[in-house]
Amino acid sequence: MLRIRRRALGRSGSRGAWGLVLSCGLLAMFGTNAATAARAISDDVDHTKAAACGNPQVETTALPVDIQRAFPNLEIGRPILIQHAGDDSGRLFIASQYGVIYTIDPTDSAVSEPKVFFDFEEAVTYKDRENEEGLLGMAFHPQFKDNGKFYLFFTSSERPRLSAISQFTVSASDPTRADRSSEVRILDVPQPAWNHNGGTLEFGPDGYLYIALGDGGAANDMFRNGQNLGTLMGSILRIDVDRPTAEQPYSIPADNPFVDTPGARPEIWAYGLRNVWRMAFDPATKHLWAADVGQDLWEEINLIEKGGNYGWNKREGMHPFGKDGVGPSADLIDPIWEYHHDLGKSITGGVVYRGSAIPALQGVYLYADYVTGKMWGIRYDEAQKRVVAHHEFPLEGNVPVITFGTDHSGEVYFSDPAGRIFKFVPRS
């Protein structure tokens, strides 16, 4: 068995006090007995008000699904990204947080020796005690098959606390490997702290590059970035990498929501986010799903809308946060789902399953909690605009999932910090 650069297993999750209110998620999962599911819920909780946040019938049946090691002979140090390139090659790309990208044939379950696609570890900063840095994001250009371009989000070794987004291309002499000298720096984002860097990169169905950035780190949004349109922090950006300008290696799409807002960064597509840990477009509905890691009490899942303000740091999930916290407001978008820290403390966002091997998962958004190792799936009804089903996977042994990804057929894989890659299988 090949073991490639394994180190410590940690990822800092959100931690905090136990809550005194119930979430829509708890109520939907446990019904009127939700109070017994929360470990430190006070007798003073107004359960009627808690239910009033919107708790129509939500299906909770277990799905006939299990998990198994996809490649039992393969372990890769901190496999932070799992993707295909959309180039009809069938390759599965697995990136280590340390700065090495590998490829394998996903049909070869016995693989033990991945091929190195790109090794730029010397350009990447990663420390086990500061494990929200490193190589964090990867996106292949929609025309990768023809132009060989791909994009990486990483913590640069050029200077401390520098998040960088760069474009690279494959080697002209060997298209199975990337050309280290081809780097074009797209954007530098100096970070005030090592955590809450965000890092997900996704090309949207519109061909633009979407970039998730955290609030700058530390805790409680101490840098006051969540509601500040004058900074890139705490936002999802949308840029056009195909049309550089004389001033910068990208342009701003004309329909970005804040291009005409004085003092606002025109790159911003949505804001009020703490630390999105994985976002993904549903290829069927084109919705952009984003999981936002919570601070003290709540983890949340959002559908990202143009110009949307998702509330941080005025709100955590659906709830007022801090001394300036606010209740429901027409100018803030609530998550479609949330869960309390009695159930988990650090969400890992996933993808909507659109594969064919497991019909029971069709249309289900898959996500997990890194701290507890639990895994769930939700169904969102387009007509009703709400979650209509929430499924917990009754797995034998929990897995601290650090990322989800898909192959060219839409089948879903996920990884843990021990270097293992898993997949879903029908329960026998």
pLDDT, one tens digit per residue, over 151-187 is: 999 999 999 999 999 999 999 999 999 999 999 999 9
pLDDT at 394: 79
pLDDT at 198: 96
User: Residue 29 domain-assigned?
Assistant: no
Residue 29 has pLDDT above 50, yes or no: no
User: Residue 23 domain-assigned?
Assistant: no
- Of the pLDDT bands very low, low, confident and very high (cuts 50, 70, 90), residue 56 is low
pLDDT at 385: 95
pLDDT at 6: 47
Q: What span, in angstroms and rounded, lies between the C-alpha atoms of 13 and 196?
A: 10
Q: What span, in angstroms and rounded, lies between the C-alpha atoms of 392 and 386?
A: 18
- Hey, which bits of 156-297 come out as E strands? 162-170, 178-190, 201-203, 209-213, 235-239, 268-271, 276-281, 288-292
C-alpha dist (Å) from residue 295 to 124, 299, 344:
27, 8, 12
User: Residue 328 domain-assigned?
Assistant: yes
Residue 362 and residue 370 in contact, taking contact as beta carbons nearer than 8 Å:
no
User: Residue 83 domain-assigned?
Assistant: yes
Amino acid at 15: R
Of residues 24 and 166, the one with the higher pLDDT is: 166
Alpha-helical segments (H) within 137-178: 144-147
Mean pLDDT, to the nearest integer, of 61-72? 94
**Which tokens in the block code for residue 322?**
């801090």
- Domain span including residue 311: 2-16+66-426
Amino acid at 383: A
Q: What domain count does the chain have?
A: 1
Average pLDDT of every residue of the chain: 89
Residue 300 and residue 276 in contact, taking contact as beta carbons nearer than 8 Å:
no
Residue 200 and residue 212 in contact, taking contact as beta carbons nearer than 8 Å:
yes
CATH number at residue 351: 2.120.10.30
Number of residues that this document lists for the chain: 428
User: Residue 60 domain-assigned?
Assistant: no
**Cis preceding linkage at 225, omega within 30:** no
Rounded to the nearest 5°, which phi and psi values hold at 24?
-55, -35
Residue 296 has pLDDT above 90, yes or no: yes
User: Residue 49 domain-assigned?
Assistant: no
% of the chain exceeding 70 in pLDDT? 87
pLDDT at 398: 86
Mean pLDDT, to the nearest integer, of 209-224? 95
- Of the pLDDT bands very low, low, confident and very high (cuts 50, 70, 90), residue 396 is confident
User: Residue 28 domain-assigned?
Assistant: no
- How far is Cα of residue 1 from the mean position of the Cα atoms in its chain? 29
User: Residue 22 domain-assigned?
Assistant: no
pLDDT at 361: 97
